[in-house]
């Protein structure tokens, strides 16, 4: 089975998840799975909850990217894997894992997936979602306060101390590796339609 790997990167709150959702819907009949870089945050059972809240979760070293690389290679060889799960409430890896079967289309998404050469070299199409920083911050506040039980103050503090500096140091520079740059991500219907058409052409050629 020929496998097509699509990488979707971009800053926090850029619209990656909306784009991934639309891609999954478009290629549902082609058998599609998604691997989120967020699943692969490193486990820190040796730290207290308070200590874990102070870690820099926007630095490349926060992720077990090598595990993601190995899982992606394994899936490309038509062998199932079990990816970890991460709790954003407890700031730690969960005991449960999720079984993933090989699929014709694999979508990998995350803020830093283009930063790692070994990982991005496994991708057939690399898409960067480019969105205004003010919009991204507003979306992050809504998500973290409503879905992850954070206070607005903690979200803003984290954004200013780690999220924004790491975006400028690692995420934004990785845009140069993208094959396609989509403003507003999944909210850009014209660009999404063109992307889906190009991916279909690539799949049909295989």
Domains of the chain, start order: 4-199 (3.40.50.300)
pLDDT tens per residue, range 129-161: 998 888 888 988 998 898 888 889 988 998 899
Phi, psi (degrees; rounded to nearest 5) at 66: -65, -35
- pLDDT tens digits, one per residue of 63-120: 999 999 999 999 999 999 999 999 988 889 999 999 999 998 999 999 999 999 999 9
| Dihedral angle over CA of 41, 89, 75, 121, nearest 10 | -40
The more confidently predicted of residues 25 and 205 is 25
Distance, CA of 10 to CA of 24 (rounded, Å)? 18
pTM, to two decimals:
0.89
């Amino acid at each position: 089975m020929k496998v097509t790997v699509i990488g979707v990167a971009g800053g926090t709150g850029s619209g990656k998840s909306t784009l991934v959702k639309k891609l999954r819907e478009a290629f549902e009949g082609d058998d599609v799975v998604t691997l989120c870089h967020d699943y692969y945050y490193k486990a820190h059972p040796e730290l207290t909850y308070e200590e874990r809240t102070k870690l820099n979760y926007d630095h490349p070293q926060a992720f077990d990217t090598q595990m993601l690389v190995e899982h992606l290679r394994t899936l490309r060889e038509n062998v199932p894997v079990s990816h970890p799960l991460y709790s954003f409430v407890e700031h730690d890896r969960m005991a449960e894992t999720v079984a993933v079967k090989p699929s014709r289309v694999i979508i990998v998404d995350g803020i830093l997936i283009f930063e790692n050469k070994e990982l991005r070299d496994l991708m057939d199409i690399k898409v960067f979602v480019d969105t205004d920083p003010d919009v991204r911050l507003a979306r992050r506040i809504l998500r973290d306060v409503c879905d992850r039980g954070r206070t607005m103050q903690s979200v803003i503090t984290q954004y200013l101390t780690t999220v924004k500096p790491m975006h400028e140091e690692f995420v934004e520079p990785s845009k140069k590796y993208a094959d396609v740059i989509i403003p507003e991500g999944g909210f850009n219907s014209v660009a999404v339609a063109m992307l889906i058409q190009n991916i279909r052409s690539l799949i049909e050629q295989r």
